[in-house]
């Protein structure tokens, strides 16, 4: 063991001597007292094998994982195993998975015998129409490399993907001595081939080789490496989904665009000016999770920091459920004990009730890289090419931990700016420097009919004759008003989907027992009884945030009424340069604001009632 | 902000590198921009790019070369980069017939997404692998003539014809650009300086093929 606190990594991921000059030197060094060591890792298990994940996560988030144990730690971080299981249970599961892998591999082998032979394919074995390509260098089996009895679409698609996998495998991490061995290359090829067969929806896309390569180095058993990769892909696979007009990763890119727009409007504007508003320059970072921007060892360090920060104790059970059941809302709720077992990023996310995949930590990592280069980009980038150039220069020069730390900061900044804008009153909004440009022209097309008139009609039916707030009519009313948010441009899209999420959470609860939950507040009361109300994924929480979001809209209406000359209003300067335009989209014609006055006069007391009720049961001050 | 002196140029030409996966696009680019060849080069994810400033027909031209991923799955992203490209280098591997057969697909791709006046050059790469050659020069030559493309064979590894390939396409772009500016300036020839540098009596369009066949 090393006493200086840092040791050399050269022995773990040796570089071929002839490549040493061109390969960036790793910055990561295992540090005593910070990095999760083998000794500490072993000590984190109870006698029968339960893992104290909380303790382990704390370490990893501070200093990564020692190379000697990365493989087994990653299996937990990626959700292959439940820390709350015994050695026996895990061994059984591992055995089961190994068998499953060999069954799949055998299927593949039966179609294409090269699989599992220690060799790989880089040229087409069938034509686009599924006819076997005759290779005269192969003497046996008539020069064919495929079992031609398979001609169904899935098999053909898969066989067509194989040469691409081969072409990439021979180019994967070739500077590492590990991949000098043909056997190891073939292992990478086999795993990617089996994956492409099993996940035929995604199949194989360039870049998956970069994700898979470390797993093979870290986990000796091929099936174990496959499952580790397969679990990593569960987080990443949507990025690799492609159609003729788009690629999945573009969803994350547009989130990135929103994030930068909110945390650094100046930078966003500059990027738009140089035609980089789509953030395609960040494409590679998200696709292969910074494998190209960091040295091999540093990328692994970054990944484990990231996965530790994103860790959720429910991950294993979520993954183990059959796909049909893995509805997000069905996730077990997190109590305080479980919340402690979340990574730093995930905890924040859970607390704010954010569940979307698009705002993964990786997005904020890119944001943090951009922010680190903010000055240079603003000063030097006159075109998209300059942006790419500046980002190219980061290769091998970034500190993984610093990037993660900054990413968390940006996430916090983003959340606070974002939620401030949505839920706080308009005066707060006006004081924040958030610029929500009013783009009525662009978005008004989505507003159909007269929102205000429709809302006014619906508000009549929200209460029962006894004065109780009725669940469905209330939700329906919220839905009617919600499109108003569209007028604030794409920055509001996440808010809107979040509000939509809250509405559907309440709706689902209602549908689960219509008679019991006919009255809105009964949902809250029942959650309080079962002690679920305080959970971030509770309906109580949903109602609170929904009410807060509606407060925002209601205030907006009040503000419009209070300032007939909107251009004089403090808020208007920030929100909407043209009051008339806004009025016309919400359905106010000319200066006839009577409907809006009526609606506003009834809506805000209704929301106030919600707050009063929530306060009466001690739930009105749940924090994000 | 003024550009640094070494960044001064008369023209900026955007060129895209396209073609099947593994034909050597990235190495052609690194050979041209940095005079490097990397045996361990990785697959291109999405779009990467490099620039080099050089003299073309007596003018300083900054060539901005966008290198794209070869896999079909990436088409949605890569085609976005065709916009504004004045030239395209369509690369195939002389040792892999399918990469040559796919050239027609790539041409269609360009016709669908790129500017209609884009200058296209067909490049047969990896001529150093003599014993593995599977696409005859004549076949590619004939095809290029039929499609109206410039054509050259290269070896990024041995640095054969790489410089020539880029020089040729950049000159061709320059010729077209200057002709355009000449015709657009016809009513009022605003810049005599520009007018002078245009090679009016330059090679006829059909000679371009002759000047860049492989030697």
Residues of chain A with Cβ-Cβ distance to B49 below 8 Å are 385, 388
Shortest Cα distance, chain B CAs vs residue A279, angstroms: 11
Model pLDDT, residue A194: 98
A385, B73: Cβ pair inside 8 Å?
Answer: no
Domains within chain A, CATH numbers bracketed: 17-77 (no CATH), 87-240 (1.10.8.270), 250-411 (1.10.472), 432-616 (1.10.3520.10)
Q: How far apart are CA A325 and CA A321, in angstroms?
A: 6
Strand duo B150-153 + B87-93: pairing: unpaired
The length of chain A, given as a count of residues: 624
Does the structure show a pLDDT above 80 at A394? yes
Model pLDDT, residue A3: 45
Q: Indicate the pLDDT class of residue A245, thresholds 50, 70 and 90.
A: confident
Report helix, strand or coil for B173: helix
Does the structure show a pLDDT above 90 at A81? yes
C-alpha distances in Å from residue A98, one per residue of A93, A103, A213:
9, 9, 19
Torsion of CA A85, A91, A95, A96, to 10 degrees: -20
A247, B74: Cβ pair inside 8 Å?
Answer: yes
Beta strands in A469-590 (DSSP E): none
Size of interface A-B (CB pairs under 8 A): 81
Which helix (DSSP H) or strand (DSSP E) does residue A144 occupy?
none
B46, B53, B112: best mutation site toward chain A, by most A Cβ within 10 Å? B46
Q: Indicate the pLDDT class of residue A573, thresholds 50, 70 and 90.
A: very low
Q: Is B53 on the interface with A (CB under 8 A)?
A: no
pLDDT tens string A246-287: 899 999 998 899 899 889 999 999 999 988 888 989 999 999
> DSSP label at A51?
B
Classify the C-alpha dihedral A367-A372-A378-A380 as positive or negative.
negative
pLDDT tens string A348-376: 877 665 555 567 899 999 999 999 999 99
Shortest Cα distance, chain B CAs vs residue A488, angstroms: 28
Locus of tokens 């296209």: B120
Residues forming beta bridges with residue B122, ordered by sequence position: B90, B151
Model pLDDT, residue B65: 95
Q: Is B167 on the interface with A (CB under 8 A)?
A: no
Does the structure show a pLDDT above 50 at A129? yes
Which helix (DSSP H) or strand (DSSP E) does residue A185 occupy?
helix A182-198
Of B40, B43, B77, the CB nearest to A283: B77
Model pLDDT, residue A334: 63
C-alpha distances in Å from residue A65, one per residue of A57, A62, B6, B149, B198:
10, 9, 45, 55, 63
The count of other CB atoms within 10 Å of the CB of residue A447 is: 17
Model pLDDT, residue A2: 43
Torsion of CA A402, A408, A413, A415, to 10 degrees: 160
Q: How far apart are CA B203 and CA A403, in angstroms?
A: 54
Shortest Cα distance, chain A CAs vs residue B10, angstroms: 16
Strand duo B119-125 + B11-19: pairing: unpaired
- As a whole number, mean pLDDT of residues A400-412 equals 93
Q: Is A168 on the interface with B (CB under 8 A)?
A: yes
Q: Is B112 on the interface with A (CB under 8 A)?
A: no
Q: Indicate the pLDDT class of residue A76, thresholds 50, 70 and 90.
A: very high
- Residue A142 has, within 13 A of its CA and on its CB side, a CA count of 5
C-alpha distances in Å from residue A230, one per residue of A79, A227, A233, A356:
10, 5, 5, 20
Q: Is A22 on the interface with B (CB under 8 A)?
A: yes
As a whole number, the mean pLDDT across chain A is 83
Model pLDDT, residue A168: 97
Kindly list the strands in the beta sheet with B47-56, ordered across the sheet, starting from the edge strand earlier in the chain.
B47-56, B59-68, B11-19, B87-93, B119-125, B150-153
Shortest Cα distance, chain A CAs vs residue B106, angstroms: 15
Q: Indicate the pLDDT class of residue A566, thresholds 50, 70 and 90.
A: very low
Q: How far apart are CA A72 and CA A224, in angstroms?
A: 10
pLDDT tens string A209-239: 999 999 999 999 999 999 999 999 999 999 9
Among A123-137, A418-432, B39-53, B118-132, which stretch is predicted with the lowest mean pLDDT? A418-432
Separation of CA A549 from chain center = 23
Of B42, B71, B80, the CB nearest to A171: B42
The count of other CB atoms within 10 Å of the CB of residue A246 is: 12
Does the structure show a pLDDT above 70 at A440? no
- Is the CB of residue A528 less than 8 Å from the CB of residue A544? no
Q: How far apart are CA A587 and CA A173, in angstroms?
A: 60
Residues of chain B with Cβ-Cβ distance to A288 below 8 Å are 45
Model pLDDT, residue A447: 36
Model pLDDT, residue A318: 85
Q: Indicate the pLDDT class of residue A137, thresholds 50, 70 and 90.
A: low
B35-74: b or e for each residue (b if 16 or more CB lie within 10 Å)? Answer: eebbebbbbbbbbbbbbbbbebbebebbbbbbbbbbbbbb
**Residue B100: what are its φ and ψ, rounded to 5°?**
-80, -40
Position with higher pLDDT, B24 vs A245: B24
Does the structure show a pLDDT above 50 at A317? yes
Q: Is B76 on the interface with A (CB under 8 A)?
A: yes
Residues of chain B with Cβ-Cβ distance to A22 below 8 Å are 38, 40
Model pLDDT, residue B214: 36
Q: Is B132 on the interface with A (CB under 8 A)?
A: no
Position with higher pLDDT, A8 vs B204: A8
Tokens read off for B27: 């190495």
B51, A385: Cβ pair inside 8 Å?
Answer: yes
- Which residues, including other chains, have CB under 8 Å from residue B205's CB and lie 6 or more apart? none
Q: Is B40 on the interface with A (CB under 8 A)?
A: yes
Does the structure show a pLDDT above 90 at A165? yes
Q: Following DSSP, what letter does each residue of A332-362 receive, concatenated?
A: PPP-HHHHHTS-HHHHHHHHTT---STT-HH
Residues of chain A with Cβ-Cβ distance to B40 below 8 Å are 19, 22, 171, 174-175
pLDDT tens string A14-28: 999 988 888 888 889
Q: In chain B, which residue's Cα lies nearest the Cα of A205?
A: B73
- Is the CB of residue A187 less than 8 Å from the CB of residue A170? no
Does the pTM surpass 0.80? The reply is no
Shortest Cα distance, chain B CAs vs residue A243, angstroms: 7
Q: How far apart are CA A307 and CA A345, in angstroms?
A: 9
A283, B42: Cβ pair inside 8 Å?
Answer: no
Low-confidence ranges of chain B (pLDDT < 50): 1-5, 186-215
Locus of tokens 């002078």: B196
Judging by beta carbons within 10 Å of its beta carbon (0-12, 13-18, 19+), is residue A128 exposed, middle or buried? Answer: exposed
Of A207, A245, A288, the CB nearest to B76: A245
């Amino acid at each position: 063991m090393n006493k200086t606190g840092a040791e050399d990594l050269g022995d773990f991921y040796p570089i071929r001597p002839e490549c040493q000059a061109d390969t960036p030197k790793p910055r990561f060094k295992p540090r005593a007292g910070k990095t999760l060591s083998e000794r500490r890792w072993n000590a984190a298990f109870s006698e029968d094998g339960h893992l104290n994940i909380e303790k382990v996560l704390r370490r990893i988030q501070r200093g990564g994982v020692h190379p000697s144990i990365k493989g087994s730690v990653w299996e937990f971080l990626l959700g292959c195993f439940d820390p709350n299981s015994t050695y026996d249970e895990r061994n059984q599961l591992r055995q089961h998975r190994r068998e499953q892998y060999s069954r799949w591999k055998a299927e593949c082998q039966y179609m294409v015998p090269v699989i599992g032979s220690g060799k790989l394919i880089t040229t087409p074995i069938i034509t686009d129409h599924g006819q076997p390509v005759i290779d005269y260098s192969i003497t046996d089996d008539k020069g064919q490399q495929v079992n031609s009895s398979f001609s169904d679409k899935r098999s053909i698609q898969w066989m067509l993907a194989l040469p691409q996998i081969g072409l990439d495998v021979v180019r994967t991490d070739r500077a590492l001595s590990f991949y000098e061995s043909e056997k190891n290359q073939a292992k990478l090829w086999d795993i990617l081939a089996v994956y492409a067969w099993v996940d035929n929806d995604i199949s194989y896309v360039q870049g998956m080789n970069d994700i898979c390569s470390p797993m093979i180095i870290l986990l000796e058993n091929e099936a174990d490496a496959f499952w580790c990769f397969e679990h990593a892909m569960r987080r990443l696979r949507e990025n690799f989904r492609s159609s003729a007009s788009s690629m999945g990763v573009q969803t994350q890119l547009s989130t990135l665009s929103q994030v930068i727009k909110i945390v650094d409007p100046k930078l966003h504007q500059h990027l738009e000016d140089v035609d980089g508003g789509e953030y395609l320059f960040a494409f590679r970072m998200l696709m292969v999770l910074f494998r190209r921007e960091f040295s091999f060892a540093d990328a692994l360090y970054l990944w484990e920091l990231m996965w530790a920060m994103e860790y959720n104790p429910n991950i294993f059970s979520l993954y183990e459920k059959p796909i049909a059941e893995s509805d997000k809302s069905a996730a077990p709720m997190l109590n305080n004990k479980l919340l402690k077992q979340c990574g730093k990023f995930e905890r924040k996310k859970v607390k704010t009730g954010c569940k979307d995949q698009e705002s993964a930590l990786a997005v904020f990592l890119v944001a943090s890289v951009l922010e680190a280069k903010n000055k240079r980009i603003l000063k030097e980038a006159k075109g998209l090419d300059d942006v790419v150039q500046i980002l190219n220069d980061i290769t091998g020069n970034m500190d993984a931990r610093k990037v993660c730390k900054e990413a968390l900061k940006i996430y916090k900044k983003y959340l606070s700016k974002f939620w401030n804008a949505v839920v706080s009153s308009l005066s707060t909004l006006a004081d924040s420097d958030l610029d929500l440009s009013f783009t009525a022209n662009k978005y008004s097309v989505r507003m159909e009919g007269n929102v205000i008139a429709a809302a006014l009609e619906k508000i009549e039916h929200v209460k029962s004759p006894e004065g109780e707030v009725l669940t469905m009519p209330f939700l329906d009313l919220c839905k009617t008003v919600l499109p108003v948010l569209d007028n604030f441009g794409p920055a509001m899209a996440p808010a809107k989907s979040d509000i939509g999420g809250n509405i559907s959470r309440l709706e689902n609860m209602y549908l689960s027992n219509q008679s019991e939950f006919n009255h809105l507040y009964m949902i809250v009361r029942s959650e309080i009884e079962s002690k679920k109300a305080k959970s971030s994924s509770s309906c109580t929480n949903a109602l609170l945030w929904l009410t807060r979001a509606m407060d925002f809209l209601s205030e907006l209406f009040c503000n419009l009424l209070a300032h007939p000359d909107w251009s004089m209003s403090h808020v208007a300067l920030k929100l909407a340069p043209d009051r008339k335009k806004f009025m016309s989209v919400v359905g106010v014609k000319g200066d006839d604001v009577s409907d809006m006055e009526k609606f506003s006069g009834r809506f805000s007391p209704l929301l106030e009632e919600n707050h009063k009720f929530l306060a009466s049961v001690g739930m009105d001050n749940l924090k994000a | 902000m003024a550009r640094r002196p070494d960044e001064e140029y008369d023209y900026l030409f955007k060129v895209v590198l396209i073609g099947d996966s593994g034909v050597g696009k990235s190495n052609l680019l690194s050979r041209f921009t940095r005079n490097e060849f990397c045996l361990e080069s990785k697959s291109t994810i999405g779009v990467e790019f490099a620039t080099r400033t050089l003299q073309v027909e007596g003018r300083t031209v900054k060539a901005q070369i966008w290198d794209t991923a070869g896999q079909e799955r990436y088409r949605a992203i890569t085609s976005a980069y065709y916009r504004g490209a004045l030239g395209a280098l369509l690369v195939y591997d002389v040792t892999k017939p399918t990469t040559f057969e796919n050239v027609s697909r790539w041409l269609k791709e360009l016709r669908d997404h790129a500017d209609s006046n884009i200058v296209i050059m067909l490049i047969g790469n990896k001529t150093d692998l003599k014993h593995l050659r599977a696409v005859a020069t004549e076949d590619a030559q004939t095809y290029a003539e039929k499609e109206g493309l410039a054509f050259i064979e290269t070896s990024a590894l041995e640095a054969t014809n790489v410089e020539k390939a880029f020089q040729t396409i950049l000159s061709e772009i320059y010729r077209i650009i200057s002709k355009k500016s000449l015709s657009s300036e016809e009513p009022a020839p605003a810049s005599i300086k520009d007018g002078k540098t245009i090679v009016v009596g330059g090679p006829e369009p059909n000679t371009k093929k002759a000047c860049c066949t492989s030697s």
